[in-house]
Amino acid sequence: MSDNLKYTKEHEWVAVEGNVAAIGITGYAQEALGDLVYVELPEIGKKVGKGDNFAVVESVKTAAEVYTPVSGEVVAVNTAMAEDLELIKKPANQNGWIAKIKIENPSDLEGLMDEKKYKEFTDGLS
């Protein structure tokens, strides 16, 4: 796990490297969704605003939107994931990210939770 891993209340994780944020969905989200059957990736170059939906993950149960906690431009998408959906279970450095976004405002990261806080948050949801 990267030291820079941050979490959102919508159950995305963000791995920051320099000015780029790699975004994936947490184990809690994966558990709630069940096995995925489809992931819809954004287009490279797309501008997204903080809180925007930038990808869709679909399971047998439901389809869910994935939100970006940072504003910026999509600079990479994980095309391998579209072929192998099991990748979503992997950590950021093992291709578990959905897309990478070039961070426009580093202050967007300020409100995000660290691992300990996120665990407290999910424990409280049950």
Partner 1 sequence: MSAERKIETVTTGQNEIIEFNRGLLYEESLLWEKEHADHPGVDLPAPENLKSRTGVPDRENIGLPQVSEPQVLRHFVKMSTWNYSIDHGFFPLGSCTMKHNPRLNEKLARLPGFAQIHPLQPESTVQGALKLMHELQHWLAELTGLPGVCLAPAAGAHGELAGIMTIKRAHEMKGNKGRNVMLIPDSAHGTNPATAAMCGYTVKSISTKETGRLTVAAFKEALGDGKDVAGMMVTNPNTCGLFETEIQEIAKLLHKAGGYFYCDGANFNALVGKVRPADFGVDVMHINLHKTFSTPHGGGGPGSGPICTTAELAPYVPVPTVVKNGETYSLQWEKDRPETLGQLKGFQGQFGMHVRALSYMMSHGADGLKQVAEDAVLGANYIMASLKNDFHAPFDGPCMHECLLTDKNQKDAGVTTLDIAKALCEKGFHPMTVYFPLVVSGAMLIEPTETESKDSIDRFIAAMKEFAADVREGDSEKYHAFPESTPRRRLDEVKAARTPVLRWPSDI
Of the candidates 11, 15, 7, 16, the residue with the CA atom closest to the CA atom of residue 111: 7
Whether residue 25 contacts residue 8, with contact meaning beta carbons closer than 8 Å, is answered with no
User: Could you tell me which stretch among 12-20, 29-37, 40-48, 103-111 binds partner 1 (CB under 8 A)?
Assistant: 29-37
Please, where are the H alpha helices in 8-106? 27-33, 79-83
Tell me which of 1, 27, 35, 47 binds partner 1, using CB under 8 A: 35
User: Is 32 near partner 1 (CB under 8 A)?
Assistant: yes
User: Could you tell me which stretch among 11-19, 56-64, 104-112, 113-121 binds partner 1 (CB under 8 A)?
Assistant: 56-64
User: Is 47 near partner 1 (CB under 8 A)?
Assistant: no
User: Is 1 near partner 1 (CB under 8 A)?
Assistant: no
Nearer to partner 1, 61 or 119 (CB): 61
**Binding string, 73-112, against partner 1, x = CB under 8 A?**
------------x---------------------------
d(CA 45, CA 60) in angstroms, rounded, equals 30
First to last CA, the chain: 24
d(CA 111, CA 63) in angstroms, rounded, equals 26
